[in-house]
Amino acid sequence: MSQTASSKDKKEKTTEGIGGGSLGQALLVPVLAVITGLILGGVVMAASGSNPFQAYAALFAGSFGSPSAIIAGIQTYFATGDNNDLVKSIYPFTESLVTATPYIFAGLSVAIGFRAGLFNIGAEGQFFIGALCSAYIGYSVKGLPMIIHLPLAIGAGALGGAIWGMIPGYLKARFGAHEVVNTIMMNWIAFRLSDWLLKGPMQASNFRPVTPNVLATAELPRFFEAPLRFNLGFFLALLFAYLVYWFLFKTTIGFEIRSVGANPDAAKYAGMNIIKNFVLVMFIAGGLAGLAGTAQVLGVDHWVGQGFSAGYGFDAIALALLGKSHPFGVILSALLFGFLRSGATNMQSIAGIPIDIISIIQGLVIIFIAAPAIIRWLYRIRSLKVEEIVLTRGWGK
């Protein structure tokens, strides 16, 4: 990464938003922001009467697994050919990657919105709608081979999310209704709609409000045997991150989107169609968030229940900001969040810390990322020449 970045000329780098100066400088603020967030999170834990060191140790063990157990597992495998211990020891690590998968998609969704000057808070609703569409195709269409059924289910999820995202995009472009409020309203409508679907038309049995399991032909293939849930979705997410990168930085329409985001007046003056771009960006953003739901339902859960998408939308905002709205930055921050979330479950059961502590840390990280001046002031760092991305501007402009 640093090799490729340094080999490109300076102009190229600034247009990609990784930042002027070296890659290390660009990473400095996000890394310090995360560290500061974790420290303050520890202060909150200590203030609430828990031991932050024990909690973070549990978090680490929950997200990476214990290194000694992994080494022991490998030794047993080579000595006896028995892979039970090895599978058990790498389970936490693969679970973290599994958790990171929808984060990559959802983070890309918010990031592409930021690039166009749109704030997509609706990733949560789009995620839910995408998951429901994929699940529906997954369980209701029968008798297709996997080569057709799986892409069909994935496409349904992407399309569902895309349409859900396009509605606020159109309202913004055509009527100037602010996307922040409208995407939040679309979230609530999606929750109520799913409540109804899960209790009625899409309910599997009369007992629980969940959908039937998707058929085996619509599942994303897993690479290991149960209980490991690591699946094709992770690589699909990486592929899409590359596609978004290519789309944003290597195509004309991507350039238009970034121009509209950087300065809509100039873009309009240059003859770019702002309305078309808003709708297009929200369509793509919705589709990516829908794919996050798809990856979760087809790769991990295989069914959808109530509260399925809880928290993904807000997490996605945090990690898009953390990744500076760059697809590769999003991958890194999604991995970080995957490890945090996955480890937090362990932290909750071992150290008795409610999982909501992660939201507190996220809120703090967003503040530090959005106000690098605070981090610079805290750590006495001189002003960096890092390109700032214009995020939002007021109501309906």
Instruction: Return the number of the residue (300 or 320) whose C-beta is nearest another protein.
Output: 320
Query: Minimum CB separation from another protein for residue 92, in Å?
Result: 23
Query: Minimum CB separation from another protein for residue 171, in Å?
Result: 5
Number of other residues whose CB lies within 10 A of the CB of residue 242? 12
Query: Minimum CB separation from another protein for residue 314, in Å?
Result: 5
**Closest-CA residue to 334 (of 246, 240, 255):** 240
Instruction: Return the number of the residue (215 or 366) whose C-beta is nearest another protein.
Output: 366
Query: Minimum CB separation from another protein for residue 154, in Å?
Result: 27
Is residue 134 within 8 Å of residue 154, measured between CB atoms? yes
Judged by phi (left if over 0) then psi (alpha if -120 to 50, else beta), residue 307 lies in left
Query: Minimum CB separation from another protein for residue 369, in Å?
Result: 8
Chain residues in the site for another protein (CB under 8 A): 44, 48, 119, 121, 171, 175-178, 180-182, 184-186, 188-189, 192-193, 195-196, 199-200, 314, 317-318, 321, 353-354, 356-364, 366-367, 370-371, 373-374, 391-396
What is the rounded distance in angstroms from the CA atom of residue 160 to the CA atom of residue 135? 11
Instruction: Return the number of the residue (270 or 371) whose C-beta is nearest another protein.
Output: 371
What is the rounded distance in angstroms from the CA atom of residue 45 to the CA atom of residue 54? 10
Query: Minimum CB separation from another protein for residue 175, in Å?
Result: 5
Query: Minimum CB separation from another protein for residue 394, in Å?
Result: 3
What is the chain's alpha carbon radius of gyration, rounded to the nearest angstrom? 22
DSSP code string of 220-236: PPBSS-TT---BTHHHH
Three-state SS at 64 = helix
Instruction: Return the number of the residue (76 or 263) whose C-beta is nearest another protein.
Output: 263
Query: Minimum CB separation from another protein for residue 365, in Å?
Result: 9
Query: Minimum CB separation from another protein for residue 155, in Å?
Result: 27
What is the rounded distance in angstroms from the CA atom of residue 383 to the CA atom of residue 71? 44
Give every CB contact of residue 76 below 8 A, 6+ residues apart in sequence.
82, 84, 85, 86
Instruction: Return the number of the residue (190 or 298) whose C-beta is nearest another protein.
Output: 190
Instruction: Return the number of the residue (177 or 381) whose C-beta is nearest another protein.
Output: 177
What is the rounded distance in angstroms from the CA atom of residue 18 to the CA atom of residue 242? 15
Number of other residues whose CB lies within 10 A of the CB of residue 391? 15
Instruction: Return the number of the residue (8 or 192) whose C-beta is nearest another protein.
Output: 192
Is residue 202 within 8 Å of residue 303, measured between CB atoms? no
Tokens found for residue 160? 């569902």
Instruction: Return the number of the residue (239 or 373) whose C-beta is nearest another protein.
Output: 373
Query: Minimum CB separation from another protein for residue 112, in Å?
Result: 17
Residue bearing tokens 């078309």: 276
Strand partners, 210: 305
Instruction: Return the number of the residue (44 or 61) whose C-beta is nearest another protein.
Output: 44
What is the rounded distance in angstroms from the CA atom of residue 162 to the CA atom of residue 130? 8
Which spans in 231-310 are helix H? 233-250, 252-262, 264-269, 274-296
Instruction: Return the number of the residue (210 or 361) whose C-beta is nearest another protein.
Output: 361
